[in-house]
Structure 1
Amino acid sequence: MDGESKAAWAAGGMVFAAVSMIMMGVWQAIEGIFGIATDNFYAEVQDYVVSIDTTAWGWIHLILGVVTALVGCALFGGATWARVLGVVLACLVLINNFLYLPYYPFWSLLIIALAIFSIWAMTVAPKPTGPDYR
């Protein structure tokens, strides 16, 4: 793969990263709302390293989700601060869902995969320049 192909993949990946950050944020928020509203929606886990009540998990997911979605929207503007904050938030989302695996495995694995690709896209994509750049 030559340099132009890599740049095209990375630039397209940046758009995907913005969209996936918004999706991750919305999904996290929905997951948080379910955790807050219904205590019996998620599996009860016994003897796990991280024992947090599902309502507390719900608040963590809701707050993290709203902030992640907002930063995903800011990524469309190409702001460097949004990239940096996006990488930090994607790492937090990844860690959060890794710890949440026993409660809702498939959902957590899906969000972990999106977070990994988002981190890659935000760190590899070139900074946009030129007259069309806002």
Structure 2
Amino acid sequence: MSQYQDTGRVSEPRGGAVGLIVFAGTMMIMIGVFHIISGLAALIEDDFYVTTPNHLLEFDLTTWGWIHLIAGIVVAGAGFAVFAGQTWARVVGIMLAGLSAVANFAFIPYYPVWSLLIIALDVFVIWALATQGRNVALD
């Protein structure tokens, strides 16, 4: 006989787990909106960001605008899916927050304070999604 028995009971998620999911979903939506704002600023006003020479990824600001705009839409969409308690949304959320942090690391020469803020929020989202252990659907 197994040492572990399935009693058939479904336990309710703890308040801390629900709180982390709400935090992660809200932050993902906010990060997505921040990306969209950054992208639109780069697309609408090409002189908004100051460019510095000799940095890691030298993209045109229009390219950065499209990168931020598309990333913002995808991250915000995944944030809404996290609220639905989808397991895939947690996994995708961790990956997107990681990619968002990398993109903002490369964007530091253009807008350093903003990029560091978004990187910090991405780290908190990764922590919140990784430490939550089970599906939590918010009704």
TM bin, normalised by shorter chain, reads 0.7 to 0.9
Aligned residue pairs total: 126
Unmatched 5+ stretches in structure 2? 1-13
**1:94 is the counterpart of 2:101:** yes
**Counterpart contact for 2:83–2:138, Cα < 8 Å:** no
**1:30 is the counterpart of 2:37:** yes
**Counterpart contact for 1:25–1:69, Cα < 8 Å:** yes
For the residue of structure 2 that corresponds to 1:103, the secondary structure is coil
More helix by share: 1
**Counterpart contact for 1:36–1:58, Cα < 8 Å:** yes
2:133 alignment partner in structure 1: 126
Measure the CA separation in 2 of the matches of 1:88 and 1:126: 17
Instruction: Within 5 Å, give how 1:1-134 maps onto structure 2.
Output: 8-128=15-135
How far off its partner does 1:97 sit? 0.3
Unmatched 5+ stretches in structure 1? 1-6
- Percent same amino acid at aligned positions? 46
What's the TM-score, normalizing by structure 1? Answer: 0.88
**Counterpart contact for 1:11–1:126, Cα < 8 Å:** no
Looking at CA atoms only, which structure, 1 or 2, has the larger radius of gyration?
Answer: 2
Quote the RMSD (CA, aligned, Å).
1.7
What's the TM-score, normalizing by structure 2? Answer: 0.85
